[in-house]
Amino acid sequence: MLTGATLEQLRSDIKYKALYRCELCHRWTLHGHCHHIKSRGAGGDDTYENMVYLCVGCHTDAHNGKISKHELMVLRSPEQSGTGTKD
């Protein structure tokens, strides 16, 4: 599990790669959240592959079960990046 400055750098990198847009609804936001696809409590890692940048609304929906883990996992699939490989 990452902590402190290392975790903050990862979050900053994720926001930057998302161009400060929610990766689900594409709304531009400076106040979004880096959401774990598989929670740390369930054994999820602090990695780019396991985290997505979400606006406040989508982040709330993800925690309330309105957005499936599958929908979030698709955002990190190689096909979504357009490169055929994980970034």
Q: What number is the average pLDDT over the span 3-24?
A: 94
Domain ranges of the chain: 12-81
Query: Tell me, what's the pLDDT at 83?
Result: 45
* Cα separation, 12 vs 5, whole angstroms: 10
**DSSP secondary-structure letter at 34?**
E
User: Which pairing describes strands 51-54 and 33-36: parallel, antiparallel, or unpaired?
Assistant: antiparallel
Query: Tell me, what's the pLDDT at 80?
Result: 57
- Tokens for 55? 């606006």
pLDDT in tens, 32-85: 999 999 999 999 999 999 999 999 999 999 999 999 999 999 999 865 554 444
* Cα separation, 19 vs 55, whole angstroms: 12
Q: What is the pTM of this model?
A: 0.83
pLDDT in tens, 17-40: 999 999 999 999 999 999 999 999
